[in-house]
């Protein structure tokens, strides 16, 4: 008996000396598999590409590794289609066995993704989708966001517009992001003494705006607030100007309206005032280095989506550094992610107890191809995380 034990002990010591890994160690030495689930087609295609570019830029700056591990990508085009989301994420988790899920842009797709992530206890980092629930009633230890809640930029914009105007009409795509954005705007706008007199919606990703523009012209509110992004945003702003409304009724929105879309809008976009957690012309060295690196790698200017992708990789890197690349040490990894302080191009941010950035919001004004920073409208804005029990 003792001899057998001694023999086993010797084998174990020999194995250690030879560097033979235990299963847990083996996990920390192979490539780290990242499932990138993002839109690469449809109205949000440019957003998915910018997030991917930003993510890969940080990995490249880190020598192709996070926490000492090389990276392998499994990439899925989710088409911003909630109907295909569960099948897409199932493939990444159950067939490809990714270590981490990174995605996505569309709130409806992200909700389906997070459901599978929760059920399988897979770490998920959300580099855009703002669905309030994900860091509200559905908050979870394995879910982290490097972007915003739909409430955040909407609330910041509402606070600003509420100081200038008494009435507003909102117009959005009818899905989680649009509705929550309109709600956040209304909350702040009405707190400041204004009144949202009409809430208009159209199905995502429709761009038949004409009947809504006619209705807005007949209501004559003092201001209009819209949530649109990507290709749809460019079309809306052009239609708003062509309808003759640009010079009579000020148009506001979260900065998604004008981020990455100004070139396509041409003159119609010039002068638009929006609120967002990123802007062009921020005076910080991290942003300057990030922008120079992005321009060199992609021959393009980065936008908010590129920043959020970059920060998703930064956050993951900060966590993996603590667990030395062993993504299997889930509890330690989550603690490290929770404690991370991110030096973002947007300015530094930390995460709330619900795992959402607590961050400054800037007022920006469209000038040429830039959303130039005008001022900080709300400092250190935290989402109220209503319903989060963590
Ligand atoms: C969302 O669906 O949450 C969403 C999409 C595009 C944006 C912002 C939010 O630009």
Structure confidence by residue, pLDDT tens digits, 282-327: 999 999 999 999 999 999 999 999 999 999 999 999 999 999 999 9
Residues 6+ apart with CB under 8 A from 273: 250, 252, 363, 364, 365, 366, 374
Nearest atom in ligand 1 to the alpha carbon of residue 233 is: 10
Structure confidence by residue, pLDDT tens digits, 77-92: 999 999 999 999 999 9
Q: How many CB atoms lie within 10 A of CB 281?
A: 13
Nearest atom in ligand 1 to the alpha carbon of residue 305 is: 10
CA 249 to chain CA centroid, nearest Å = 30
Nearest atom in ligand 1 to the alpha carbon of residue 259 is: 10
- Mean pLDDT over 342-370 rounds to 98
Nearest atom in ligand 1 to the alpha carbon of residue 256 is: 10
Let me know if 343 is exposed, middle or buried by CB neighbors in 10 A (0-12, 13-18, 19+): middle
Q: Find the 229 Cα to ligand 1 centroid distance in Å.
A: 7
Looking at the chain, the number of H-run helices and the number of E-run strands are 13, 15
Nearest to 344 by CA among 75, 122, 145: 145
pLDDT value at residue 71: 98
Output the ligand 1 site: residues, CB below 6 A.
44, 105-107, 128-131, 150, 177, 229, 256
The answer to whether 139 touches 355, Cβ cutoff 8 Å, is yes
Which of 80, 138, 150 gets mutated to test ligand 1 (max ligand atoms within 8 A of its CB)? Answer: 150
- Mean pLDDT over 329-356 rounds to 98
- Mean pLDDT over 135-150 rounds to 98
- Mean pLDDT over 34-57 rounds to 98
What number of CA atoms fall less than 13 Å from residue 126's CA on the CB side? Answer: 35
Which of 175, 177, 305 gets mutated to test ligand 1 (max ligand atoms within 8 A of its CB)? Answer: 177
Distance, in Å, from the CA atom of 370 to the CA atom of 368, rounded to the nearest integer, reads 6
Residue closest via CA to ligand 1's atom 5 equals 106
DSSP symbols for 117-131: HHHHT-EEEESS---
């Amino acid at each position: 008996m003792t001899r057998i034990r001694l023999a086993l002990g010797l084998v174990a010591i020999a194995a250690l000396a030879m560097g033979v890994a235990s299963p847990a160690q083996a996990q920390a030495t192979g490539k780290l598999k990242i499932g990138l689930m993002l839109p690469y087609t449809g109205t949000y295609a440019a957003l998915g590409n910018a997030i991917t570019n930003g993510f890969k830029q940080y990995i490249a700056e880190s020598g192709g590794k996070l926490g000492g591990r090389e990276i392998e990508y499994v990439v899925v085009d989710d088409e911003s289609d909630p109907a295909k989301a569960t099948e897409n994420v199932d493939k990444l988790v159950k067939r490809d066995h990714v270590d981490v899920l990174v995605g996505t842009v569309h709130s409806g797709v992200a909700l389906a993704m997070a459901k599978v992530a929760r059920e399988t206890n897979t770490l998920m980092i959300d580099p855009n989708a703002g669905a309030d629930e994900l860091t509200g009633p559905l908050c979870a230890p394995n879910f982290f966001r490097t972007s915003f809640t739909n409430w955040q930029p909407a609330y910041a914009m509402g606070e600003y517009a509420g100081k200038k105007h008494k009435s507003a009409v909102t117009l959005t795509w009818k899905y989680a992001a649009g509705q929550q954005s309109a709600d956040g705007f209304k909350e702040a706008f009405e707190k400041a003494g204004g009144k949202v007199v009409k809430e208009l919606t159209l199905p995502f990703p429709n761009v038949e705006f004409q009947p809504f523009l006619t209705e807005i012209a007949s209501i004559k509110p003092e201001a209009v607030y819209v949530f649109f992004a990507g290709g749809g945003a460019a079309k809306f702003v052009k239609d708003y100007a062509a309808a003759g409304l640009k010079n009579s009724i000020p148009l506001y929105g979260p900065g998604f309206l004008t981020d990455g879309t100004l070139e396509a809008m041409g003159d119609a976009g010039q002068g638009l005032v929006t609120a967002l957690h990123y802007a062009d012309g921020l005076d910080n060295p991290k942003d300057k280095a990030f922008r120079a690196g992005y321009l060199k790698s992609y021959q393009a200017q980065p936008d908010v989506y590129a920043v959020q992708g970059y920060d998703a990789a930064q956050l993951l890197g900060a966590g993996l550094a603590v667990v030395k690349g062993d993504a299997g040490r889930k509890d330690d990894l989550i603690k490290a992610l929770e404690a991370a302080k991110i030096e973002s191009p947007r300015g530094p941010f930390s995460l709330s107890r619900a795992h959402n950035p607590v961050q400054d919001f800037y007022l920006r004004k469209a000038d040429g191809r830039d959303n130039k920073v005008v001022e900080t409208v709300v400092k250190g804005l935290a989402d109220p995380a209503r319903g989060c029990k963590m």
